Structure 1
Amino acid sequence: WRMSKRAKPRRKSDASPPQRSWLPILLCAVVALGAALACCIQFEFKGDMFRNVASTDRQNRAPPSETLGTTATLDEFRAAAVPLVRDYIFDNYAAYAASKLTFRDMKEFLTEPLQMTYEQLKQDELSAVIEDAVDTISNTCDGGKMALDRCKSRTALLL
């Protein structure tokens, strides 16, 4: 491969600009796209107007004390629900040990004595109370492998 006499090697001043010159422009474009996407997530286009989804959701969400029922606070709910959960599990201990009881069964049972709807019991704060009581029994009684009498005596001090 010999160079012809006509072709001259390029000088540095004739060289094309380095490939990295587009990098700052691309970086700015990505940042702008991210900001636009963040705005689109926060605002929802509805017809001719934008609606601020984040603030609307906060306004529609009632404070926890209002979501617990008409007269109950979270502590009152815990005081009423935990003994009912314990009794329900102990009354159905064979099904519990065989993993046949579900949280749905338990919440449906709790609706009548607590005078609350199933939808109210599905709320995060209330579900957490129920799940904590079940977890305490499950951990203390080895998931139902322990004898019922022994399980009752071990959980009596905890719940």
Structure 2
Amino acid sequence: MSDNQHVDSTAETLSLSDNVCFALYTAANALVRAYRPLLQQCDLTYPQYLVMQALWLQDGASLTDLSRATKLDLGTLTPIVKRLESKQLLARHVDEHDERKKLIVITAEGAELKQQALALKQVLLSKVSVSEAKLDELRDLCLVLTEDLNR
């Protein structure tokens, strides 16, 4: 077999799913699609859910804090915060230590939504055959990959 024939036969056995970027892309899309009907029950989009999760972890965050936590830029984050505020799930207040800064706080309605929304994780876990330990490992690898690529 010549080198050209070997290369051709090897190329024929390759597929898009051999690429890490393709596997991550399709997995992320599948995850967001799986979340969509569950989040509709909470009247949230996935980016809104990320913002609420960040606030459930750190209530009274600034827009900059939320941007850092969610990895959403300020131009994307601002309309999401406004939409959540119109749904009365959060409110923006002037920081008493720096009146130029606004802090975003969860309302009573936003706090009530927490248990319902966080239960969605268990619903999704019941749909996958991957163990929670493997999912934790996958999350850690994705975070390392993100950090490495953002350097």
Q: TM-score range by the shorter chain?
A: under 0.3
Provide TM-score, normalisation by structure 2. Answer: 0.25
- In terms of Rg, which structure is larger? 1
Provide TM-score, normalisation by structure 1. Answer: 0.24
